[in-house]
Amino acid sequence: MDEKIWFVYLTDHHEGPFSPAEVAEKAKQGLVSGQTLGWKDGMPEWIPVDSIPELAAALGSSAEAPPVPLAAMTPASGGEEDFSLAKLLVSEQQNAPTLSMGSGNEDSAPSIAGFISPDSEVWTLRVGNQVSGLHSLQRLKDLAASGDVPADAQVWHPGWSDFKLVSAVPEVAAARKAKPAGGMSGIGSLQRSQPARGVQPLANVGDEEPTDPGIAKPKASGGILGLFGGKAPVAMAKVQRVGPVGIPQRPSQSARLMASLKKVVSLLLFIGILGGGAAGYFFFFASPIPRDLDVIEDDHEAMNLVVKAPIAEGGKLVLALARGTEDNPAEDTSPKFYVATNMEEGTAVTLKVVGVPGTLLNRLAYEKTLTSQVGKNKLATFENLSEDGKPLPIGEYTLSVSAEGAETISRSRFLGGKKGGVYADRLKKYREKLQGDYDKEVQELREYVQAIKSLQGEATKQINSFKEVGANPANRPRLAADWKAFHTNSQAMIAQVDGKLKQRAAAGASANERAFQDMATVLGQLQQLLELHDQRLSGATPKSNPDEMEGLVQAGVLSLEQLVSQALMKSPFDAAAPAPASTK
């Protein structure tokens, strides 16, 4: 029974399930070879297809049938130029471009954790709203063993369409343990039971003599405590005036008033000094930027300076990257930024993040614009740069900050992960693969343009013959026969090219999408030209001017040749940028 139980791994993603016959069909298309990795439910790991008897037999019995020759499509007029697409279509089938980013049922396929090296840092972990990574498989297992990966946690790696529950990765699910109940509460309660440092028990309160001889008597002092009417130290309380019979005498009323007045004056003076100093500090030195803001020291100093700059000098902006805290460190794959400014609370600030072409791993381009408002602390905060919870592509970025009334600032930063040897090696392999796919696509574009140009040239030749000798009725039968044969053959060729263009448009992910769209337009105009000349040969009045349509087709072919020349001079990263409008 030919069951659909097999999965195959194609370049950077897996597809399936397929039957052996369907795997053999993909081998005919050049997508599967004997070294392609295969897997089905119950197998411990992915292995080459030629090591799987059932698939190896299917591939061995699927010898590619020779392409159907298109010799019958040559012009009946006996023209010298061969405008058939036989060789072109055979070459296209054998060397199909591989720009597709994957269209298989990725979510139904098994985990490929066994295929990824335990040391490869490609995993992203999502616990609730917190996203972290990139992790290695071994790191995920360690986190699971320590109780930091709950049962509802989700994981993701390149090739998956979305996050999956941790149970989808058996290695991590098997290592997972529940976190001990109570967490660190035992340590916290122990710390709270200890008295604060430097605080001694207040024994002997109100006594003239200490009850514990080990406690030293406080020294006499006329410090700040006296200014606020506080109780005098014990040693001072024992120094009292004594009368002739040993009875303590009370101070006179005037002395008590004078002493109270001195205390009031001293208190007012002290409050004045404190208030004036505090006001001066807040007016001249204080900054609304939090002192414990998680940025580096240089950025913190620059932020403090800019928020105190006079607004009369114009709006000023400072961009800083959040570093996180020890308990909650910042994630490289989901960066957070602060913008400090001297502008008013509520001012809208815009942050535009653009990836530098050719530096992004597994991405041709990245661009995102965020808007935030200035708060009371003179800060605008920006986060959530990732897309759909997936990590930010690792690479170089240009960050531009703007606000109405302020000069735009731009900074360059490496984001998304660590810049090192692993990144450089992975980027090199990605660029090489992308360049190979791009070269195949440009070659396909050249062959299609050459085919359309050949059809247009033959059509022009026969139309010119009609204009030269068509006025003679004796020549009409020969001209009509030659045109009929050419028109019949050209219809088959146009249909095949049009079908290929529609398939490519449906697949998307084309580096030269504009060129293929223009090609479809020119092909449609060529079809109209052939129909108009048919009407003219039959003696009927054409629905529109054939000569004008012929000029449009000729101009369109020239434009396509220019697009091909431009594509040959570009890289895949240049082609990702918007192309200039073509003229037809």
Backbone torsion region of residue 204, taken as left when φ is above 0, otherwise alpha when ψ lies between -120 and 50, otherwise beta: left
Domain 123-175 classified CATH 3.30.1490?
A: yes
**CATH number of 1-65, picked from 1.10.8, 3.30.300, 3.30.1490, 1.10.3470:** 3.30.1490
Which residues, other chains included, contact 529 with Cβ-Cβ below 8 Å and sequence gap of 6+? 459, 546, 549, 550, 553
Cα–Cα dist 323/325, whole Å:
7
Cα–Cα dist 559/552, whole Å:
11
pLDDT at 373: 94
pLDDT at 6: 87
3-state class of 86 per DSSP?
A: helix
Cα–Cα dist 556/526, whole Å:
10
- pLDDT 10s digit of each residue in the chain, 584 long? 578 888 888 766 778 889 999 989 888 888 888 888 888 887 877 788 888 888 888 887 554 444 333 333 333 334 444 444 444 333 443 443 333 333 344 444 444 444 566 777 778 888 887 778 788 888 888 998 888 889 888 887 766 667 788 888 888 888 887 655 544 433 333 333 333 333 333 333 333 444 444 444 444 444 433 333 444 444 343 334 444 434 444 455 565 666 666 666 667 666 666 655 544 444 445 789 998 899 999 999 999 999 989 988 899 999 999 988 888 888 888 899 999 999 999 999 999 999 998 899 888 888 999 999 999 999 999 988 877 667 889 999 999 999 999 999 999 999 988 888 899 999 999 988 888 888 888 888 888 899 899 998 999 998 898 888 877 888 888 888 888 888 888 888 888 888 888 888 887 777 788 888 898 899 899 988 898 888 888 888 888 888 888 899 999 999 998 888 888 888 887 756 544 444 33
What does the DSSP assignment read for 110-129?
PP-TTTS-TT---EEEEETT
Cα–Cα dist 462/72, whole Å:
19
4 in Cβ contact with 26 (< 8 Å): no
| CATH numeric code, 297-419 | 2.60.40.10
563 in Cβ contact with 515 (< 8 Å): yes
Which of 404, 420, 308, 409 has the alpha carbon at shortest distance from 348? 404
User: Encoding tokens for residue 161?
Assistant: 């369409």
pLDDT at 521: 93
Which of 81, 8, 73, 5 has the alpha carbon at shortest distance from 38? 8
What does the DSSP assignment read for 405-422?
TB--EEEEEEESS--SHH
- Residue 74 has a CB neighbour count (10 Å cut-off) of 17
Which fold is adopted by the domain 423-575?
A: Four Helix Bundle (Hemerythrin (Met), subunit A) (1.20.120)
pLDDT at 438: 86
Buried b (16+ CB within 10 A) or exposed e, 534-546: bebbeeeeeeeeb
pLDDT at 555: 93
pLDDT at 256: 63
Angle in degrees, 0-180, between the axes of helices 513-537 and 476-507, rounded to the nearest 10: 160
Q: Is the dihedral of CA 85, 89, 95, 99 positive or negative?
A: positive
